[in-house]
Amino acid sequence: MDIDKYKSLISHTYLFNTFSTDEISALFKDEYCTIKNYNKNSIIYLQNEICTTIDILLEGKVTIQKIDENGNILTIASFKPGDIMGGSLAFSNNNEYPMTVVAEAKSSLLHIQKELILDLCQNNRAFLSKYLESLSIKALILTDKIKFMSLKTIRDKIVEFLTYEYHIQNSKIIKLDMSKKELADRFGVQRPSLFRELKKMKKEGLIDYDHKSIVILDEDRLF
């Protein structure tokens, strides 16, 4: 296992940013960790598969997906290099993956046995604090995600998305870091349905858009 290739990345992740690169090399031994490579569109974990490791995405992009009763693929979450997966699930009494985990691009993951995490929690108070804080943050994100997905209409989802990005980007020009297809997946709708609603909102003078951004034209009526 070539952990030295990724020790700089790992030392900049939230959980391990108190460890030096030398400590990272010493910490991740073969008996506790493995690095696996996945081709694009490979299934990393099937729904209902048992979670036994905490994973760090080293390269590529990974998504959590759910297929609804109409066959629509709903992207619940996306992960980029440095993100950690399975932190809460591995220690749950019901530690089955509730959804399918897929490599959106060619990806490499570091799979960490939970015994190493337990040892760190017992022997490193700073790590324990970070681990508990990361679980709390993810719980809040999940709550927001459930609230977002419970909105009934496509327009509701678009407005919620624009409201959030408007405050984060502090601009009426909302720059998109995803394609319209990825945005539709995030909303849990088909791409043509998203485009129809965007066209309606443009015709009403609420927004304008191109492939890179959405411009808020009438803030008062939109929000």
The mean pLDDT values, 10 residues at a time, for the chain of 223 residues are 87 90 89 93 92 94 80 79 88 88 94 93 92 79 64 84 87 90 82 93 95 92 87
114, 32 contact by CB (below 8 A): no
Q: Which fold has domain 3-149?
A: Jelly Rolls (2.60.120)
* pLDDT at residue 142 in the model: 64
Q: Could you give the CA distance from residue 211 to residue 178 in angstroms, rounded to a whole number?
A: 9
pTM higher than 0.75: no
Which residues have CB under 8 Å from 102's CB, separation 6+?
A: 41, 42, 43, 44, 62, 63, 64, 65
Q: For the chain, give every domain's residue range.
A: 3-149, 154-222
CATH code at 154-222? 1.10.10.10
What's residue 181's pLDDT?
Answer: 84
Q: According to the model, what pLDDT value does residue 66 have?
A: 79
The Cα–Cα gap between 123 and 125 comes to 6
